[in-house]
């Protein structure tokens, strides 16, 4: 199985407390903490991830 290419969030604070995201060949979206990407991985489907991002953007636009 191919390794995932992790991308660190551009909204990270100082240190390693950041969210990292990777897409897998099987069309899953993986999320983990940047400090330890091999430890705790949450997986979701692209539609759910897109809905999550949309809701974050909408809530941020109301600030």
Number of domains in the chain: 1
Q: Kindly state whether residue 1 falls inside one of the protein's structural domains.
A: no
Q: Kindly state whether residue 13 falls inside one of the protein's structural domains.
A: yes
Q: Kindly state whether residue 19 falls inside one of the protein's structural domains.
A: yes
Q: Kindly state whether residue 39 falls inside one of the protein's structural domains.
A: yes
For residue 43, the enclosing domain spans: 7-61
Phi, psi angle pair for 49, to nearest 5°: -60, -45
Q: Kindly state whether residue 2 falls inside one of the protein's structural domains.
A: no
* Per-residue pLDDT, 32: 87
Q: Kindly state whether residue 51 falls inside one of the protein's structural domains.
A: yes
**pLDDT one-digit tens code per residue, 10-46:** 777 666 678 888 888 778 898 888 777 677 788 999 9
Q: For residue 42, what are the β-bridge partners?
A: 31
Residue 50's pLDDT band (cuts 50, 70, 90): very high
User: Cα(60)–Cα(62) distance, rounded to whole angstroms?
Assistant: 5
Q: Kindly state whether residue 42 falls inside one of the protein's structural domains.
A: yes
């Amino acid at each position: 199985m191919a390794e995932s290419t992790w991308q660190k969030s551009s909204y990270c604070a100082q240190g390693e407390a950041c969210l990292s995201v990777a897409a897998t060949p099987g069309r899953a979206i993986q999320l983990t903490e940047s400090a330890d990407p091999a430890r705790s991985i949450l997986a979701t489907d692209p539609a759910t991830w897109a809905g999550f991002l949309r809701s974050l953007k909408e809530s941020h636009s109301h600030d």
